[in-house]
């Protein structure tokens, strides 16, 4: 690492760092850790095109809560994921399916912007829950090193694309998971889990942009019991008594549409706009009274 005026950049074998060892609530600087993660996701493994930029940023970002979960446990892991969930932009797909320039991916008016970080990371959390830790970490080692058994001196820097990772996951698990990656990376909106009570049954249905298939299993807590719903064909049903309440995905395994998050973001934006206007009006009034005093 070399200390620089620039905040942080993941140069191969020697990161630029200028964030003054600022501590987050974790007790260490998240940025120093983030740039360090790029030695694997960015430098050892490099995207073939900037359209696959999430392979750098989504993985590097996910490594941060993952480290917290290992170091401190679940509370800090989920708290970090919740922060990410609240800032998703969801205006452009993370993967466009055509060659992209870095500036177009990073510019939120033309590309996914911060979603390559946070939507990428939250998608990886969901993938881990879906395929399990063994297959998840095996797939990542293959992505980064080209082998499940990397040893110093026995691997070289690699380039890979989104499709390469999808193929690795499918090979390692023995299942075709293209539906999963398509629903999260190649669409704009998040899958929505619709629930409807009908007598003694709770009907569940995934709604995905473009009516894409999404057989994502989900847990539902009915009263005090947690039920696994396989959601074959994107639909499922659970028995529920009239006096029982339910909670969808009670252990927060699946990234999905949450209408209250959009409401939160809209409320924040409106308040920021109002505060900016009030500040502008106050500045104008101050200039006006200063001018009056001079006269
Ligand atoms: Zn980064």
Ligand 1 centroid to Cα of residue 29, in Å, is 14
Nearest residue to 120 (alpha-carbon basis) of 255, 28, 279, 265 = 255
Ligand 1 centroid to Cα of residue 134, in Å, is 26
Ligand 1 centroid to Cα of residue 106, in Å, is 11
Ligand 1 centroid to Cα of residue 58, in Å, is 8
Ligand 1 centroid to Cα of residue 12, in Å, is 13
Ligand 1 centroid to Cα of residue 234, in Å, is 34
Task: Please give the biggest Cα pair distance in the chain.
Answer: 82
CATH number for the domain running over 40-185: 1.10.390.10
* Domain-wise residue ranges, the chain: 40-185, 192-248, 263-295
Q: Is the per-residue pLDDT at 241 higher than 80?
A: yes
Q: Bridge-partner residues for 8, per DSSP?
A: 17
Ligand 1 centroid to Cα of residue 253, in Å, is 24
Residue 10, pLDDT score: 86
Ligand 1 centroid to Cα of residue 150, in Å, is 24
Instruction: DSSP for 46-99, please give it.
Output: EESSGGGTHHHHHHHHHHHHHHHHHHT-HHHHHHHHHHHHTT---SS-S--SS-
Ligand 1 centroid to Cα of residue 13, in Å, is 15
Q: Is the per-residue pLDDT at 291 higher than 70?
A: no
Distance CA 101, CA 293 (A): 54
Ligand 1 centroid to Cα of residue 291, in Å, is 48
List pLDDT tens digits, range 158-195. Answer: 999 999 999 999 999 999 999 999 999 999 999 999 99
Ligand 1 centroid to Cα of residue 126, in Å, is 20
pTM above 0.85, yes or no: yes
* 3-state class (DSSP) for residue 205: strand
Residue 287, pLDDT score: 85
**Burial status of residue 244 (CB atoms within 10 A of its CB: 0-12, 13-18, 19 or more):** middle
Distance CA 264, CA 196 (A): 24
Ligand 1 centroid to Cα of residue 69, in Å, is 20
Q: Is the per-residue pLDDT at 135 higher than 70?
A: yes
Ligand 1 centroid to Cα of residue 250, in Å, is 30
Ligand 1 centroid to Cα of residue 9, in Å, is 8
């Amino acid at each position: 690492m070399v200390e620089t005026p620039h905040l942080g950049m993941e140069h191969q074998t020697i990161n630029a760092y200028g964030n003054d060892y600022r501590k987050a609530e974790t007790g260490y600087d998240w940025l120093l850790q983030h740039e360090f993660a790029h030695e694997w996701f960015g430098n050892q493994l490099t995207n073939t095109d900037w359209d696959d930029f999430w392979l750098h940023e989504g993985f590097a970002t996910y490594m941060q809560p993952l480290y917290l979960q290992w170091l401190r446990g679940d509370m800090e892991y989920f708290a970090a994921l919740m922060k990410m969930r609240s800032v998703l932009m969801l205006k452009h797909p993370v993967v466009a399916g055509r060659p992209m320039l870095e500036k177009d991916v990073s510019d939120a008016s033309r590309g996914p912007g911060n979603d390559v970080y946070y939507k990428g990371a939250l998608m990886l959390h969901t993938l881990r829950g879906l395929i399990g830790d063994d297959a998840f970490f095996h797939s990542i080692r293959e992505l980064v090193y080209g082998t499940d058994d990397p040893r110093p001196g026995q691997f070289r820097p690699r380039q890979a694309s989104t499709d390469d990772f999808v193929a690795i996951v499918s090979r390692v698990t023995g299942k075709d998971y293209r539906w999963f990656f398509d629903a999260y990376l190649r669409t704009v909106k998040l899958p929505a889990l619709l629930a409807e009570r009908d007598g003694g049954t709770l009907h569940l249905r995934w709604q995905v942009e473009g009516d894409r298939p999404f057989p994502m299993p989900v847990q539902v807590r009915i009263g005090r019991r947690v039920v696994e719903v396989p959601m074959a064909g994107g639909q499922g049903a659970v028995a529920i008594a009239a006096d029982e309440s339910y909670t969808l995905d009670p252990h927060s395994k699946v990234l999905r549409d949450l209408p209250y998050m959009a409401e939160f973001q809209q409320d924040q934006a409106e308040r920021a706009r109002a505060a900016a206007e009030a500040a502008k009006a106050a500045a104008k009034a101050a200039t006006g009274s200063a001018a009056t005093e001079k006269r």
